[in-house]
Amino acid sequence: MIEIIDAARCTDCNICVSACPTNVFEATPGGPPRIARQHDCQTCFMCELYCPEDALYVAPIADRTASPAEREAAAAALMGSYRSAIGWGRGRQSTASLDASFELLVRAH
């Protein structure tokens, strides 16, 4: 579930607002978007993936809001970790070539 928008990192581009398939965010004039409908979040990570500044954190907990301790740990250690793990963003190497899921299609035939 979406938990954090880091206002210090956010550039107010509103890409997350556009990327969210369940309309969780609301754009705010002159500032970062706000999490308006957190419980509509499907934990799809699209907002975190498309945020060019790694200013968002989606907790892998899909059925409840993260605790304050979980949010604090995320802010300290996990901001941008999803984009980094898949190689999206400036100065990162794509990990797409390491994905072997295509083999599932080959095996199905």
Spatial distance between the Cα atoms of 54 and 51, rounded to a whole number of angstroms:
6
Please check whether residue 39 is in contact with residue 61, taking contact to mean a CB–CB distance below 8 angstroms.
no
Residue 109 confidence (pLDDT): 62
Spatial distance between the Cα atoms of 108 and 95, rounded to a whole number of angstroms:
24
Please check whether residue 84 is in contact with residue 93, taking contact to mean a CB–CB distance below 8 angstroms.
no
Domain 2-108 falls under CATH 3.30.70.20: yes
Spatial distance between the Cα atoms of 33 and 46, rounded to a whole number of angstroms:
15
Please check whether residue 72 is in contact with residue 41, taking contact to mean a CB–CB distance below 8 angstroms.
no
Summarised one tens digit per residue, pLDDT across range 7-41 is 999 999 999 999 999 999 999 999 999 999 999 99
What are the residue boundaries of the structural domains of the chain, listed by start? 2-108
Summarised one tens digit per residue, pLDDT across range 44-87 is 999 999 999 999 988 877 677 778 877 777 676 777 778 888 88
- What's this model's pTM, rounded to 2 decimal places? 0.72
Summarised one tens digit per residue, pLDDT across range 79-101 is 777 888 888 877 878 777 777 77
